[in-house]
Structure 1
Amino acid sequence: MVAAGKLYSWAELAKHNTEEDCWVAIDGKVYDITKWLPIHPGGKNILLLSAGRDVTNLFESYHLVSDKPQALLEKYQVGVVSTLEHPKYVVKSKFYATLKERVRAHFKNTAQDPQSSVATLTRVALVILFQIAMYYVSVFTTTNFLVCCVLALLHGFAETMLAMHLMHDACHAALSHNPTVWKWLGYLFDMMSGASFYAWNHQHVVGHHLYTNVRGSDPDVGEAEFDFRIVTPYTPRLWFHKYQHIYAPILYGLYAFKTRVWDFDAFVRKFNGPIRVNDPQSGDLSFYLLGKLFFVVFRVVLPLAYHDFTKAAIYFVLSELVFGYWLTFTFQVSHIAGNLTFYGTPGKPEEPSEFDEDWAVSQMKTTQDYAHGCVLTNFLTGGLNHQVVHHLFPSIAQDYYPQLVPIVKDVCKQFNITYHIRDNFKDAFQSHIDHLYHMGNDPAFVQLPLSNKNTKKSN
């Protein structure tokens, strides 16, 4: 039950998104947390990322160990939110409450720290050293064309591991309890990859994770009426989409190029897809610019000093294709498949609807795992073959995902909720290709109407 108080629209809430004036909405209540910023145990950056928006499910999923934050919030309430920028999950099920209790008990009983371990820190250190080593070896140790091609592929693999094990964990505060560590690992990713950690946080943390498979809210499923592919029933099908199961996976390799070029949109237009981007801190902007400069110097200028232009261009493309394919295949197979749920919301300027569903249950419906029990797959995907556990508990280090699977399975059985699991990556990948085919060709997968009263779901 939302307490009475002054009413604020989402547009009014959005104006309070700075360090000097920081408001958030949680469960319909509006809180002025400006004074809490400097004393927040998780640091101010994650709160500034949340500023000016509804972060109900972010708050729920990132506070596993204690219920104390909920009690601390009350004294900061200034009103209630009256309109929605994005759809709201209005049901609070016993499923997630029970699951959180079980997971919390697991870490207490096993005396493990959910955000840190020797294995966690060792893994991150190794991928950083691997990236540096592969860059040096691929650029400076040989000019043999075939050897350089192989080394370029390995460098692309090293870039991918850096993203999977450093960038992804750091953006979710899943590496240590120290917010300074998360921030500087993010800056390090900017410098080593040339892609913006700050822009990624908006796309992934406050976009994709809060609104998984929601058209018009999840940046990963698109919102435009014209797109190179269609993955939800709420986008018009065009003639070329009948071939998307063939050309889309090929185009996925361009993802790395796209990311490094289009992240400027977050700093200029202040949007990442449908997600508003708050003003960056000075460090975010500085390391974004330095990252671009370092990328040009280390990936273009220095290689050209040791290799001719054509060969250097080939090595660059090979490396980036590996990076692009690896990331997109890993992410796409987890959410874009025919057995999963997609949600449609009314088109702007109509107000988004409410979901008559629990957020955690929606994560179970929109996400699938694969290759449980395979240590190699765990490492190569950064633990994201356990995507369900990751979405339910994003701030837990990936090293613990396999331990939590039996708990999630047990609670799902208790509440009669399906846990989507594929035997291996091949099956998961095939489910993605099948979905692309049906979306482009099957008459049953037609565009569904959108209502401004009820949010639609498609299974």
Structure 2
Amino acid sequence: MPPNTDGPKSSLGFKYPSLRDCHLKTCDNWLEGKRIDDNINGLWRIHDKLYDFSDFINLHPGGKDWLILTKGTDITEAFECHHLNGKAENLLGKYLKKSANFPRQSPFTFQENGFYRTLKKRVQNEIKNIPESYSHKSKMIIDTIFVIFMITSLLANSQKSYFFGIIAGVSLNFLAIAAHNFFHQKDNFRMYYFDLTLMSSRDWRVSHALSHHLFPNTINDLEISALEPFLQYLPHQKNFVARYLSWIYSPIFYTVVFTASSIRMIVQLIKYKKLPRKENFLPILYFFLIYFGSNITFMETLKTFFFIQSVASLFFGIIGINAAHHHPDIFHDGDASRSQTNLDWGIHQLDAVMDRKEILGSHFWVLLSFGDHGLHHLFPTIDHGKLGKLYPILQKTCKEFGVELKLNTIWGLTFGQFKQLSRIEPNRKPLKTIL
């Protein structure tokens, strides 16, 4: 499908992504388009070298899915931010095939003495000193929420109670957000809590971890394009409905995200002739657990099930959309760029993020509301519980490089995302380095 020439343009120098305007905007379509654009014939690209990791797929410590999903693509950004101990770099020589003979599609750089590499070295040294008890606390929190979710789901169904249904829905929302912490990490059972939402942890490893996290607020960000045309966050010409009526219908849109994701996943499985994964059956297992655990009819249980999913979807949308990325003072593709030839990837991450003041320093709320967002984007595999301990290093490095760590309030970001929906004019002045 040819690019939509009326769609948003990249001010960072990205080629308009192949298949971006497909009617069904799925993870597999995004990956297929990326393989077309990266054009490396089934290999993996890191910087200007091409590798064949086929024999390493089943040995990959993070789980084989990461390499299966990214085969045939440029994984430079993912490789840089997902590996912090230096071991991965030492293995690369064994799998090297050849040098690439054309530049990367991505405009982002990782210079040795640049912002991100400097920060990464400091974090590599500091992370060793942070006790594992912070990660254990994250696990305790998410497991407790899972228990609350199951108990309140049973009560909602057996008592036909909207009150317990709302508690179960809010709990499922928090369970999904906390599970997001774990699907960024190596394979573990807690990442599959996410699949109880009718969404797919596997698909979110693509749309969130490999697309949104690596290319936030750009035309390569699937979390931007998948919302279009209903919610249009990039600054370009939009009609009245997209600019202003979206303020009204967006909460309604949020309530159906989980169900719509499930339908899209089914269509995706059919299109690509794939069998469902084991975790795709978790919502069905959950449904029958509350059905057999309550003396209620099948149809009443189905009603309870979708009520809980809708409540969870609404809160997940409200929290997720307003968490960090959408405000007129945050970079969105189309805005003037700092540089198209030497744009440090880490600096772009902070340009595309604002953190909420109210939850800084709270392990509980950081885990349950996409907190410490800037640090999380820079180092997605580090447990959320440990991120707060890295602020002194981040602040020191930001000061040295003149980079702003942007903060706002919850309400400031909430109102800001509505302003961003209505924005059609790009910011003409690039974000400045603070000296």
TM-score range, shorter chain: 0.7 to 0.9
Correspondences of 1:220-299 after superposition (within 5 Å): 220-222=223-225, 227-234=229-236, 236-241=237-242, 242-269=244-271, 285-291=276-282, 293-294=284-285, 297=288
8 A contact 1:194–1:294 mirrored in 2: no
8 A contact 2:182–2:191 mirrored in 1: yes
Taking structure 2 as the reference length, the TM-score comes to 0.78
Indicate the residue corresponding to 2:357 in structure 1: 371
Q: Name the CA shift for 1:52/1:183 in 2 (closer, same or farther; >3 Å).
A: farther
Q: Name the CA shift for 1:211/1:268 in 2 (closer, same or farther; >3 Å).
A: farther
How far off its partner does 1:129 sit? 1.4
Indicate the residue corresponding to 2:91 in structure 1: 72
Q: Deviations over 1:317-345 (max 9, x none)?
A: 54233312322222222112111111259
2:207 to 203, 208, 212: 203
Q: Deviations over 1:56-89 (max 9, x none)?
A: 111111112x223213202311123456895341
Secondary structure at 1:306 match in 2: coil
Q: Name the CA shift for 1:329/1:404 in 2 (closer, same or farther; >3 Å).
A: farther
Q: Name the CA shift for 1:266/1:74 in 2 (closer, same or farther; >3 Å).
A: farther
How far off its partner does 1:414 sit? 1.2
Q: Deviations over 1:120-172 (max 9, x none)?
A: 221232122122212112112x24xxxx1111110111111211112x02210
1:331 to 310, 320, 330: 320
| C-alpha RMSD over aligned residues | 3.5
- How many residues in Structure 1 have an aligned counterpart in Structure 2? 392
Taking structure 1 as the reference length, the TM-score comes to 0.75
Indicate the residue corresponding to 1:169 in structure 2: 181
The letter of the residue matching 1:257 is T
The answer to whether structure 1 residue 382 and structure 2 residue 368 are counterparts is yes
How far off its partner does 1:302 sit? 6.0
8 A contact 1:383–1:398 mirrored in 2: no
> More strand by proportion, 1 or 2?
1
The letter of the residue matching 1:253 is T
Correspondences of 1:91-110 after superposition (within 5 Å): 92=111, 94-108=114-128, 110=129
Gaps of at least 5 residues in structure 2 are 1-33
Correspondences of 1:282-431 after superposition (within 5 Å): 285-291=276-282, 293-294=284-285, 297=288, 306=296, 313=303, 315-316=304-305, 318-333=307-322, 334-344=324-334, 356-373=342-359, 378-379=364-365, 382=368, 384-422=370-408, 424-431=409-416
Secondary structure at 1:155 match in 2: helix
Q: Name the CA shift for 1:41/1:232 in 2 (closer, same or farther; >3 Å).
A: same
Secondary structure at 1:336 match in 2: coil
> 2:105, 2:361 → 1: CA distance?
38
Secondary structure at 1:79 match in 2: strand
Identity in percent: 20
8 A contact 1:371–1:377 mirrored in 2: no
Gaps of at least 5 residues in structure 1 are 1-8, 17-22, 174-178, 271-278, 346-352, 449-455
8 A contact 2:78–2:210 mirrored in 1: yes
The letter of the residue matching 1:172 is H
1:26 to 18, 27, 46: 46
The letter of the residue matching 1:131 is F
Q: Name the CA shift for 1:57/1:307 in 2 (closer, same or farther; >3 Å).
A: same
> 1:15, 1:267 → 2: CA distance?
24
8 A contact 2:48–2:100 mirrored in 1: yes
The answer to whether structure 1 residue 185 and structure 2 residue 190 are counterparts is yes
The letter of the residue matching 2:258 is A
8 A contact 2:360–2:372 mirrored in 1: no
